[in-house]
Amino acid sequence: MGIDYMYPEFEVVRNRERCINCRICEKECANGVHIFNEEKNCFAVDESKCVNCQRCVCFCPTHALKIVKSDCRLRENANWHESTVKEIFKQARSGGVLLSSMGNPNKLPVYWDKILINASQVTNPPIDPLREPMETRVFLGMKSHKIKRKENGEIDCTVPPLLELSMPVMFAAMSYGSISYNAHESLARAAEKLGIYYNTGEGGLHEDFYCYGENTIVQVASGRFGVHNDYLKAGAAVEIKMGQGAKPGIGGHLPGTKIVGDVSKTRMIPEGSDAISPAPHHDIYSIEDLRQLVYSIKEATNYQKPVMVKVAAVHNIAAIASGIARSGADIIVIDGFRGGTGAAPTRIRDNVGIPIELALAAVDQRLRDEGIRNRVSLVASGSIRSAADVVKAIALGADACYVATAALIAMGCHLCRNCQSGTCNWGIATQKPELTKRLDPDTGSERLINLMTAWKNEIKEIMGGMGINSIEALRGNRLMLRGIGLNENELRILGIAHAGE
C-alpha cells in the first residue's frame, strides 16, 4: 500500500468451470501465487508474486489457467515509460541497484532478422542433403600454414591443439550454482552425445562430471572459483572469461542463498557466502598480462589444450580481438550485448555493449586485414536463437556459435527472467532440492539433443540450398548474405550488400 504499491504486472485468470481444485498449480508455484482456501474450497491468488513463468499453466490438467498482462496501467507517456517509473519507485524505496536476468529484452535492432540468406538457382545447383553428404564438422583452434617436412619429404602432420565439433554450436558458459546440478548434467550428457562441448562457467566442475571432460570447456574467471590443477586438466579446453555480453565491465554475482552444499564445495568457498567475482582479473590489467595467463594455462596443461578467451562485445572490440589473437589465445569468444545472464545490474545489461552481429563482422574483418584470422577461431555468442542465426553468424565469419538461452529453453525455461530470485519453477536456475528435481537429466539431455539435431538438419538444408556442402566453405562467405532495411553504415560494418544488389 502507499506510494510504492504497484499493481501486479500479471493477472492469473482461472476458469472456474474448468478448475477441479486439484491444487497442482499451488504445488508447482514456488513463488506462492496460488493459495487454496480449504474452508471455502476455492483458490485465492497473490498475483504480486507471479513472474509469468507459465509453470502452472503448463501443468494444469484442465487448462483452467492463463496468465495475462495486467491492464492496470499508468497514464501513457512516450518518454516516461511505465517500466521506467516503476523502476524509480523501486529504487526510491530501496536505494539499490536494480537486478535483472537473461538477455537485454529491449527494442533494439536484431541484425540477424535484417539479414537474408542466398540460394542457388540455375547457374549453380543446390545440393540435396538427403541425397548427398553435407558436412558440418568444425575444428576450433589455431590453423597453422607452416608446412614442415620430414627428411623423407613427408609432411609433419602434427596439429596444434584443436576442438573437434560435429556441428558449429556449443553450449555456452553457465555456472554450477547459477544453474542446477541436473541442468549441468543435462548439458554435459547432451554435449557428449552430440560430439560438441558445454562450458562449466565460473563455478568449477562438480566431481561427478569429470567423466564428461572430453566434451567440457572449463572456465577460468576473475573469481577463480573452483580453479585448481585437476580442473584445468579435466576439460578439453580452458576458457579465460574476461567479460560477458550481458554485463561488460563488471564481474559476476551469485547470491549466498545459492551457495549451498556441493555448489560451495565445487566453488571452493564457504556455504552461504556471496560469490562475487571481481570486475577485472586482478592479474590482468593489460594485454601483456593476458598473454601471461594464457601461457600459464598452456604450461599447466602441457600445451595440449586450446586456450579460449571470452570477451564482451564493446566499442573497440576489433582492436581488442586483434590483441587477444596476438596473445597466444587459440579461440576468441565474442559475447554480444543480448547475451543472457543469471543476474546482472539492469542498467548495465540494457545499456552496455554492442550487438554481436556488428562485433563479429568487425572482428573477422579486422583479423583478416591484419592477416591473422587463421591464427585463431572465432566463436559468436550472445543470443543465437535458431539455425538461421547460426548460418548467418558463420557466413559473417564465425567458426562456431555458443548458445545458452536456447539450451535453457530446450530444458524448460520460459524466459520469465527471474533467475536471480533462485526460485526457478522449472528447476534450472535454482538450488532448492524440491525445485531442481523437476528437471530430469534424462529428459533434459534428450531435449537438448533433439534441439541440436533439428538445428543441424536445418543448417544442412540451408547450406545445401546455397550449393555449399561443407561448413568451412560457408565461413566468412558474406556474399551469401544480403541486408534488408539497413543503412549504409550498417551494411559497411557487416560487410554485406543490400538485398537486390
Partner 1 sequence: MKKEGQVRIPSGCAIAAVISRKGNKMSGELITNAMKPMHDRSNGLGGGFAGYGIYPEYKDFYAFHIFFNSRATRKDCEQLLKESFEIVQAEIIPTRKIPAITDEPLIWRYFVSPFKSVLKSLQIDEKELVARTVMMINTSVNGAYVFSSGKNMGTFKAVGFPEDVGVFYKLEKYEGYSWTAHGRYPTNTPGWWGGCHPFTLLDYSIVHNGEISSYDANRRAIEMFGYKCSLQTDTEVITYIMDYLIRRQNLTYKEAASIIAAPFWSTISSKDEKEKQLLTYLRTMFSDFLITGPFSIVLGFNGGLMALNDRLKLRSMVVGEKDDKVFIASEEAAIRTMEPDAENIYAPSGGEPVIVKVEEDI
Output 280 or 495, the one with its CB closest to partner 1. Answer: 495
Smallest Cα–Cα separation from 446: which of 400, 410, 398? 410
**Least distance (Å) between residue 388 CB and partner 1:** 18
Provide the residue count of the chain.
501
Question: Does residue number 3 form part of the binding site for partner 1 (CB under 8 A)?
Answer: no
**Least distance (Å) between residue 302 CB and partner 1:** 21
Residue 282 burial (CB count, 10 A): 10
In angstroms, rounded to a whole number, what is the distance separating the alpha carbons of residues 382 and 419? 17
Q: Which of 64, 115, 170, 474 binds partner 1 (CB under 8 A)?
A: 474
Q: What is the 3-state secondary structure (H, E, C) of 277-294?
A: CCCCCCCCCCHHHHHHHH
**Least distance (Å) between residue 144 CB and partner 1:** 6
Q: Which of 2, 95, 96, 133 binds partner 1 (CB under 8 A)?
A: 133
Angle at 303 between CA 301 and CA 307, to 5 degrees: 80
Output 125 or 278, the one with its CB closest to partner 1. Answer: 125
Question: Does residue number 139 form part of the binding site for partner 1 (CB under 8 A)?
Answer: yes
In angstroms, rounded to a whole number, what is the distance separating the alpha carbons of residues 180 and 203? 11
Output 313 or 466, the one with its CB closest to partner 1. Answer: 466
Q: Amino acid identity of 444? A: G
In angstroms, rounded to a whole number, what is the distance separating the alpha carbons of residues 322 and 70? 49
Q: Which of 124, 273, 351, 453 binds partner 1 (CB under 8 A)?
A: 124
Applying CB under 8 A, which part among 24-32, 263-271, 284-292, 474-482 lies near partner 1?
Answer: 474-482
Q: Which of 64, 480, 486, 494 binds partner 1 (CB under 8 A)?
A: 480
Question: Does residue number 384 form part of the binding site for partner 1 (CB under 8 A)?
Answer: no
Instruction: Considering only residues 391 through 450, tell me which ones interact with partner 1, judged by CB under 8 A.
Output: 397
Question: Does residue number 390 form part of the binding site for partner 1 (CB under 8 A)?
Answer: no
Torsion angle (degrees, nearest 10) of CA 153, 154, 159, 164: 150
# residues near partner 1 by CB under 8 A: 40
Smallest Cα–Cα separation from 242: which of 181, 288, 290, 303? 290
Question: Does residue number 374 form part of the binding site for partner 1 (CB under 8 A)?
Answer: yes
- Are the C-beta atoms of 329 and 307 separated by less than 8 Å? yes
Question: Does residue number 460 form part of the binding site for partner 1 (CB under 8 A)?
Answer: no
Q: Which residue, chain included where needed, has cell 555448489?
A: 263
Question: Does residue number 123 form part of the binding site for partner 1 (CB under 8 A)?
Answer: yes
**Least distance (Å) between residue 57 CB and partner 1:** 45
Binding mask 77-116 for partner 1 (x = CB under 8 A): ----------------------------------------
Applying CB under 8 A, which part among 13-21, 61-69, 470-478, 485-493 lies near partner 1?
Answer: 470-478
Helical residues (DSSP H) of 370-466, grouped into ranges: 387-396, 405-410, 433-436, 441-465
Question: Does residue number 368 form part of the binding site for partner 1 (CB under 8 A)?
Answer: yes
Task: DSSP letter for 139, please.
Answer: E
Torsion angle (degrees, nearest 10) of CA 477, 478, 479, 485: 160
- Are the C-beta atoms of 352 and 339 separated by less than 8 Å? no
Alpha carbon distance, N-terminus to C-terminus of the chain: 60
Question: Does residue number 125 form part of the binding site for partner 1 (CB under 8 A)?
Answer: yes
CA 243 from centre of chain: 13
User: How many helices (H) and strands (E) would you count in the chain?
Assistant: 15, 21
Applying CB under 8 A, which part among 353-361, 423-431, 435-443, 472-480 lies near partner 1?
Answer: 472-480
Question: Does residue number 475 form part of the binding site for partner 1 (CB under 8 A)?
Answer: yes
Q: Amino acid identity of 174? A: M
**Least distance (Å) between residue 143 CB and partner 1:** 5
Question: Does residue number 292 form part of the binding site for partner 1 (CB under 8 A)?
Answer: no
Question: Does residue number 152 form part of the binding site for partner 1 (CB under 8 A)?
Answer: no
- Are the C-beta atoms of 199 and 176 separated by less than 8 Å? no
Question: Does residue number 130 form part of the binding site for partner 1 (CB under 8 A)?
Answer: no
In angstroms, rounded to a whole number, what is the distance separating the alpha carbons of residues 85 and 88? 5
Binding mask 157-186 for partner 1 (x = CB under 8 A): x-x--x------------------------
Question: Does residue number 148 form part of the binding site for partner 1 (CB under 8 A)?
Answer: no
Which residues of this chain interact with partner 1, rule CB under 8 A?
Answer: 120, 123-125, 127, 132-133, 135, 137, 139, 143-145, 147, 149, 154-155, 157, 159, 162, 368, 371-374, 397, 466-470, 472-480
